[in-house]
């Protein structure tokens, strides 16, 4: 009788005990609000996008994805997997130092915060990780989408698709000259950057060195590009004063990896932007590029992480 009573009591207690120690049911976290993206400027090899956060902001940054419209149409939309070589991705999570926007010093946007990014000009940028950092193809339509990223399960839904087209011209930018050394006119080297002379081999090593927050490097990248374009026959009248100012700022500093020179990004970003605009056909330079389309492929380009 006692044994049966004990068993009955135990039968009542076990489910109650299990209930008391069972973990509380998990509650899914609400996702971040979806940001919006708009195309605000197009160059030969870049498209500048404005990103605006929703009311939740992008406290963990945001991701932008893009691909050519030709590939998008061919496969009938976005690839199933993010590592598809036809699709490029960039995670914007930190602090930019080259293409800066006074409305936000970080990609971790405040509620309704706004910033701009330059797809096609990410090689020298900081605070981002990209599967493709070089220039886009001139005269080509692209499709973009974005989302607020999260490592804690709060990723926002994707934005709608944004279509934008690079301008159609043969002007050569950094990505072209870096990847086509055979196209450099022999008369362009050696080349002065500031007061220091560099060989073609040294210039190529500078081209292949990410700026990583050093304004001297990203200024040198655009200055080399401008001088190659001028040497190759582009009109220098609209940019000569900027070239002189850039050389004066560099002076006797030796550009990495050849030397250890450094310029604060804020001191070099204005001149760099003007040179970049020229190289993207925004300042009246006459195009005289040997090849209209860069031959960079998705598979060739390494992941850029800084």
pTM (global) more than 0.75? no
pLDDT at 295 over 70: no
Q: What pLDDT shows up at residue 302?
A: 37
pLDDT confidence bin for 28, thresholds 50/70/90: low
Calculate mean pLDDT across residues 176-197: 93
Cα-based distances in Å from 43 to 19, 48, 153, 161: 64, 8, 36, 20
DSSP 13-34: HHHHHHHHHSPPPP-PPPPPPP
Q: Looking at the predicted structure, is the pLDDT value of residue 300 above 70?
A: no
pLDDT score of 19: 41
Report how far residue 246's alpha carbon sits from residue 226's, in angstroms, rounded to the nearest whole number.
11
Question: Comparing 25-29, 114-118, 188-192, 280-284, which segment has the lowest mean pLDDT?
Answer: 25-29
Interval 230-275: pLDDT, tens: 998 888 999 999 999 999 999 999 999 999 999 999 999 999 999 9
Q: Cβ contacts of residue 251 below 8 Å, gap of 6+?
A: 194, 195
Give 275's contacts (C-beta < 8 A, 6+ positions apart): 219, 222, 223, 225, 226, 239, 242, 243, 246
**Cα four-point dihedral sign 98, 163, 40, 92:** negative
Please say whether the beta carbons of 222 and 173 come within 8 A.
no
Q: Which residues pair with 305 in a beta bridge?
A: 129
Is the omega angle on the peptide bond into residue 190 within 30 degrees of 0, that is, cis?
yes
Beta bridge partners of 51: 37, 115
Mean pLDDT value across residues 286-296: 47
Task: Round to whole Å and give the CA distance between 132 and 285.
Answer: 27
| Domains in the chain, CATH or no CATH each | 36-168 (2.60.40.10), 174-279 (no CATH)
């Amino acid at each position: 009788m006692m044994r049966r009573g004990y068993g009955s009591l135990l039968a009542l207690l076990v489910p109650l005990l299990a209930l008391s120690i069972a973990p509380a049911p998990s509650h899914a976290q609400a996702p971040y609000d979806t940001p919006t993206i708009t195309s605000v400027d197009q160059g030969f090899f870049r498209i500048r996008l404005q990103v605006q956060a929703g009311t939740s902001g992008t406290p963990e940054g945001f991701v932008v994805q893009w691909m050519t419209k030709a590939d998008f149409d061919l496969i009938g939309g976005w690839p199933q997997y993010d590592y598809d070589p036809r699709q490029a991705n960039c995670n914007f999570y930190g602090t930019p130092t080259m293409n800066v926007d006074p409305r936000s010093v970080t990609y971790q946007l405040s509620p309704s915060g706004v910033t701009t990014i330059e797809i096609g000009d990410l090689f020298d940028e900081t605070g981002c990780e990209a599967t493709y950092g070089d220039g886009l193809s001139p005269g080509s339509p692209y499709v973009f989408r974005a989302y607020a990223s999260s490592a804690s399960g709060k990723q926002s839904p994707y934005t709608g698709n944004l279509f934008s087209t690079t301008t159609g011209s043969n002007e050569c930018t950094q990505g072209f000259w870096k990847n086509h050394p055979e196209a450099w006119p022999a008369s362009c080297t050696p080349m002065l950057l500031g007061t220091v002379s560099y060989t073609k081999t040294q210039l190529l090593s500078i081209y292949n060195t990410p700026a990583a927050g050093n304004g001297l490097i990203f200024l040198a990248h655009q200055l080399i590009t401008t001088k190659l374009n001028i040497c190759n026959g582009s009109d220098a009248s609209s940019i000569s004063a900027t070239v002189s100012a850039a050389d004066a700022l560099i002076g006797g500093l030796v550009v990495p990896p050849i030397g250890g020179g450094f310029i604060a990004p804020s001191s070099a970003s204005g001149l760099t932007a003007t040179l970049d605009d020229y190289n993207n056909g925004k300042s009246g330079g006459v195009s005289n590029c040997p090849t209209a389309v860069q031959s960079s492929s998705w598979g060739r380009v390494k992941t850029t992480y800084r």
